[in-house]
Amino acid sequence: MTVDATGAAGTLGEVAVRAAGVWKVYGGGQTRVEALADVSADFGKGRFTAIMGPSGSGKSTLLHCLAGLDKPSDGQVFLGDVDLTKLPEKQLTHLRRDRIGFVFQAFNLVPTLTALENITLPLDLAGRKPDQDWLTTVIDTIGLTDRLSHKPAELSGGQQQRVACARALVSRPDVVFADEPTGNLDSRSSADVLAFLHRSVRDFHQTVVMVTHDPAAAAYADRVLFLADGTLESELVDPTAESVLDTMKQLEAAGAEHLAG
Ligand SMILES: Nc1ncnc2c1ncn2[C@@H]1O[C@H](COP(=O)(O)OP(=O)(O)OP(=O)(O)O)[C@@H](O)[C@H]1O
């Protein structure tokens, strides 16, 4: 299925990232796995998109290809009008550093640095000065002003993940890619992190693409794409936890029927 929704709820907007006929094939012969099979999708600028699907359906592979962390076997990925699949590794590294933010399930903070130093690390590495107004806005929004001098080990999991989100946003990237950002968190901390990502989109026009297993997490997004066996099977605009759950059940039932048939 080709999904061509450049924005949610019928608003046609600019495209931040585009997958065009993306394939990712591992192995060959009897061990050949089509992790992605001809996936095409647009991810609107200033939108929050969730990617869902059963285990092994290709979610992480798609996220990694979209973020330039992995090369598709075939097809193209555009960040704005730059084709990531054509970029030499060095330019790709610079582009990831300057234009993309990442949030992973394991918070990946540097243990010897304070929360503030972790947040500004991407800019320090790039030799850039933070935009003070934006830095203050991000820090105010994550709600950790009184914890900035703490090391990661002195913060809860939810607080560490909010620091990781702030780090992803500090350079005002074109897109933040989040891979199961709430996978290690309890429901209260998950809600804090998701509310922050949601606010970064709604109030600050950032763009977020998030892989999740959790229907409640997906409900924070403007739009949910559902993968099954490496292909896009379905899409929901303005999702609720209930509508996401229903769609997942339908896809699972269709998958079971397909296997039985
Ligand atoms: N490096 C690899 N070599 C071989 N097969 C791989 C590799 N990486 C992923 N795969 C396969 O590609 C398919 C998609 O994997 P992927 O990790 O993208 O799925 P996922 O939907 O993110 O799964 P999960 O929800 O369990 O994390 C799976 O069948 C997986 O076994």
* Residue range of the domain that includes 127: 8-260
Q: 252: pLDDT confidence band, cut at 50, 70 and 90? A: confident
Q: What is the pLDDT of residue 253?
A: 84
Compute the distance from residue 34 Cα to the ligand 1 centre, in Å: 9
Query: Span 234-252, mean pLDDT?
Result: 94
Q: Residues 6 or more apart from 28 whose CB is under 8 A from it? A: none
**How far, in Å, is the centroid of ligand 1 from the Cα of 77?**
19
For the segment 42-55, the average pLDDT, to the nearest whole number, is 95
Domain count, the chain: 1
Token reading at 236: 């929901």
Question: Residue for token digits 């290709």?
Answer: 58
> Minimal CA–CA distance to 140: which of 166, 173, 115, 164?
166
The encoded tokens of residue 218 equal 């997906």
- Whether 57 is in the pocket of ligand 1, judged by its Cβ within 6 Å, is yes
Instruction: Report, as an integer, the average pLDDT of 116-121.
Output: 95
Find the mean pLDDT for residues 232-251: 94
Residue 12 confidence (pLDDT):
54
Place of tokens 């330039």: 68
Higher pLDDT, 185 or 2: 185
Q: Side chain identity at 49, as an amino acid letter? A: T
Residue 202 maps to a domain: yes
Minimum CA distance residue for ligand 1 atom 7: 26
Query: Looking at the domain assignment, is residue 2 inside a domain?
Result: no
Please compute the mean of the pLDDT values over residues 4-22 and round it to a whole number: 68
1 lies in a domain? no
Per-residue model confidence (pLDDT) at position 143: 85
Has residue 79 been placed in a domain? yes
Cβ(60) to ligand 1 under 6 A? yes
Question: In this structure, what CATH number is given to the domain that contains residue 38?
Answer: 3.40.50.300
d(C-alpha 228, C-alpha 248), whole Å: 10
Q: Is the ipTM of this complex over 0.85?
A: yes
Contact 64, 19 (CB under 8 A): no
Is there an atom of ligand 1 within 6 Å of 64 CB? no
pLDDT at 160 over 60: yes
Q: Which residue's CA is the closest to the ligand 1 atom numbered 14?
A: 58
- Give strand pairing partners of 18: 42, 78
The closest of 209, 204, 233 to 221, measured between CA atoms, is: 209
Q: What is the pLDDT of residue 259?
A: 65
